[in-house]
Amino acid sequence: MFTSIELCAGAGGQALGLEQAGFEHLCLVENDHHACETLRLNRNHWHVLEEDLRQFDARKYAGVDLVAGGVPCPPFSAAGKQ
């Protein structure tokens, strides 16, 4: 099995696809509270870190097979609301 971490995970669409492709998520990082609650509700075995990506320390995940991300979500989301 391959391992992954996901940055700016949102509500987990990409993470679900990666899980179906055989990846085991070591953690998912997301700063939106509602998105994190959705992740926890739908996949309670995922390790969801509700924090700002700028504070995330990835050193303990050295050697992970895949770093995935849904960036740049905040700028796109802000632009979409205008």
Residues with catalytic annotation? 73
3-state class of 53 per DSSP?
helix
Phi then psi for residue 10, to 5 deg, are 60, -140
Q: What is the DSSP letter of 72?
A: S
Phi then psi for residue 72, to 5 deg, are -95, 90
Which residue in 21, 34, 27 sits closest to 7, CA to CA?
Answer: 27
